[in-house]
Amino acid sequence: MAIKRYTDNEYLGSEYSSSGKKYPNPFFDLAKNYIPKNIKTLFGYCRTFFYTNSFIRNVISKLTEYPITEILVDGKIQGATKDKWMNLINKQLRLKSFMIEIGLDYYTYGNAFISVQLTQKRFLTCTSCKVSSPIDNVAYKLKNFHFVGACPACQSGGIIFEIEDQTIKSAKNIKFVRWSPEHIDIDYNPITNDSEYYYSMPSSVKAKVLKGNKHILKSIPEVFLDSLRKKRKIVIDQDNFYHFKRPTLAEEDMGWGKPIILPALRSLYYLQTLKRGQEAIAVEHIVPKKAIYPANTTTLDPYTQMNLGKWRGKMEEQVKRWRNDPNHIGIFPIPIGYQELGGNARALMLTPEMKFLEEEVINSLGVPLEFVKGGSTFTSGSVSLRIVENAFLNYRELLLDFLNHFVVPKVRQYLNYPEVELRFKKFKMADDIQAKQIVMNLNTAGKISDSKMLEEFGYDYEKEATEINRTLKFQREAIIQDAKAQATGQGEATLVGARYQVRAQKALELETLKVQAEMFQEELQQELQGIPEEPYLIIDKYATEISVMAPEEQISYLQNIAKRMPTVATM
């Protein structure tokens, strides 16, 4: 696409006043003379600014990386199918990082071109014996972009080999390739809105092919060699080609997307002018120039009465000594004058103007200033955040279209994988607390499922359910073990308590008998008044007396003894 450089007359009419005198057009500035004439040159500008301008790189990196979340397989797909796709996405294709690389092209150039290919193993077929040999086993040279050499099978020399490429269908051999927009040409039809794409081989790759680089020759597609031999561009198969294109105006050439940096070019030119001026100011004025001179006095005019050449030599000698020894003290016969020139760079710096232009450039890139530099006003309630969030959501939809209508069909075509639908993990701005609280309330009220709530918070329901079951199982086992330990302890404590209870009962019985014996002795002493009889004889005497009494008399007699000697009555 050629970016037409319109004259001022074409844009705004004549530059001439009614008197015929020519005046400069007030709607244009010096920068308009340096706008690139074609889009390929513009791509070079954009690439340079991305690598050298800090805030442009910052803006593009954030626009590219922030909206990319984890790529997931549709929740309806489970088991081995899901595991196979997740392994391909995360370990083989590394689609998440590839999405970021696509975004760098998309926002820097305004275009991103993607194709898919399978790694091929190259064989060279002898035109004489028709035997195919791996290219690594053949001694060949490249002549007129043909493989020429000796056949290892029939030993014929000077054979022009035919190329035979065999595809290897496996997950690790499928590759998604990005193409530089600087080597793509688009033939756009504004009537039908159709485009044809052509690829021109980079000069660096062409040089390697001409030098016979083995690594390039054993993998470069045959169509590229034919293109070099015929000196023609390569027509790209649109069934194996995906074009990311930033929205543009309805204009003569809508085949190309326009870079996000394009509106900022004039401000960048002005900013670079200020930077060059500030650089010159810093170099010239940041370090003051020091000067010394002989001071004029009322009694001495050094310019007429002194040899100034000799004075200069002496002064240079003193300065040299002072630099070698900072403690050196110089002795001068006349007063010395001292003056500084420059050193006023701070007052001449253009920092405020440059800061204003930087903010203007950031705004021209279509993002709020807070998005780059941060700030307390950039919260979930601000309009700025909602504008950026909507832009991110639209960009994610574009990436999802690429994943589900290009990546998935190509993988199924080459690897025969089952059909799935890919999606991104839910995208939310970091401080969207209110929306998260609403989701929790809906789950509590039973209006949405636990799986839906966990998805809103960025968690995988299956993984969390598995972890919860594992945790519950561990807790149950811990409770059982604790209950067993408590029961064992209680049983042992009961046995020990019973053992000591029996011992206490025996000790109590012995103590009771001992007390009874002591009380018996005391009762006898009181009853018999010191009669020296054996206790058992006294008991036998009372028992003999009671045995010959009538039953009524026995009861009355025992009651009488119990009042006086309860222990004797018990015995």
Q: Once rounded to an integer, what is the mean pLDDT over residues 26-37?
A: 70
Q: Once rounded to an integer, what is the mean pLDDT over residues 45-63?
A: 89
pLDDT at 523: 62
Q: Is pLDDT at 103 greater than 80 in this prediction? A: yes
Q: Once rounded to an integer, what is the mean pLDDT over residues 391-408?
A: 91
Tokens for 249?
């105006």
- Give the three-class secondary structure for 454: helix
Q: Out of 11-20, 74-83, 259-268, 392-401, pick the least confident.
A: 11-20
Tokens for 419?
């059909």
Tokens for 401?
């279209």
Cα Rg of the chain, angstroms: 51
Q: For helices 351-364 and 265-285, what crossing angle results, to 10°? A: 160
Angle at 480 between CA 476 and CA 483, to 5 degrees: 135
Percent of all residues in the chain with a pLDDT value above 70, rounded to a whole number:
85
**Who wins on pLDDT, 196 or 286?**
196
Q: Which pLDDT tens digit goes with each residue over 431-490?
A: 567 777 787 888 888 888 877 777 767 677 777 888 888 888 888 888 998 888 888 888
Q: Which pLDDT tens digit goes with each residue over 196-236?
A: 999 998 888 888 888 888 888 888 888 888 888 888 899 99
Predicted confidence band at 108 (pLDDT cuts at 50, 70, 90)? very high
The most distant pair of C-alpha atoms in the chain lies apart, rounded to whole Å, by 171
Phi-psi region of 72 (alpha: psi -120 to 50; beta: other; left: phi over 0): beta
Q: Is pLDDT at 358 greater than 70 in this prediction? A: yes
Predicted confidence band at 115 (pLDDT cuts at 50, 70, 90)? very high
Q: Which pLDDT tens digit goes with each residue over 494-506?
A: 888 888 888 888 8
Q: Is pLDDT at 522 greater than 80 in this prediction? A: no
Size (the chain), residues: 571
Strands (E), 55-129: 71-73, 111-118, 120-125
- Ordered alpha helix ranges (H), 349-432: 351-364, 369-373, 383-402, 408-415
Q: Is pLDDT at 77 greater than 80 in this prediction? A: no
C-beta of residue 453 within 8 angstroms of C-beta of residue 439: yes
